[in-house]
Amino acid sequence: MRVAVRRGWVGRAVLLAALLSGCGGAEVPPGATSGPSGAASTAPGVDGEADVERVFTEGELKAALPPAEVLGRGAEVTRTDLGLFGRYGGGEWTSCAAGNGPRVEMRGFEGASAQQTVRLAGAAENSRVVTVQLVSMSAGRAERYLEVRHRLNQACPDVTVDTEAAPVQEHHEAREIAGLGDAALLESTRRTGGDEYDGTPSYAVHVRVGGVLAIVTSGGDKETSITLAARATERVRAELYGVDGAADGASG
């Protein structure tokens, strides 16, 4: 009987001390917190603890989305949508022939989804609005999703995008985030060229917790993306898998 999905390219057994010192070459969650105490947290996943074939409904995912108070003082959830998986952007890939295989495979990932739009208080104007999305599928499919996204970013680091004014360059990078969920990926996208684009990056964090993907986009604020992804991860653990979000991920 299958009892656990393999760990993939990010392991859970990462010492918190190593994370804080930046060892291992992975991106460290610099602003991740486990609640009002502000204690640093690795926001672990649930591999080996949960049914890898279990899936959740849109209603269950909606109930597991972080409430406004979890997202920071003064945050406001302005909109909640169901069934929007795959519509959160993530770059233009069609001009990159090397990414055709991963791009086609990306279309095959399906699952129930709940997404909320959040307006943060005190954030920079270009990163005031963020989205938090939860998607459910089997753990094996969720793991494969992250692998394919990672491969797509590696295959197409630079692509040309046609705009109304003139073609611009879109630059992609994906880095693993150690200790966040069962596996996690930080994506950055920059556009350069023309009079409109100055290369300012935008960020998205993709976290797998068992068979649930938590996807956070926050414009140009990397630390906010990682922090909210950690909080969403703890909500998924507690609300969907029944695992205390702070049980083995807090320190302080």
Question: Which residues in the chain come in under a pLDDT of 50?
Answer: 1-41, 87-89, 245-252
CA distances from 224 to 4, 176, 186, 220 (A): 31, 17, 12, 9
Q: What pLDDT does residue 41 have?
A: 47
- 3-class SS at 130? strand
Name the residue type at position 102.
P
pLDDT of residue 98: 86
Q: Tell me, what's the pLDDT at 193? A: 82
Convert the pLDDT of each residue in 28-70 to its tens digit.
444 444 333 333 347 899 999 999 999 999 999 999 999 988 8
Given this model, what pLDDT does residue 55 score?
A: 96
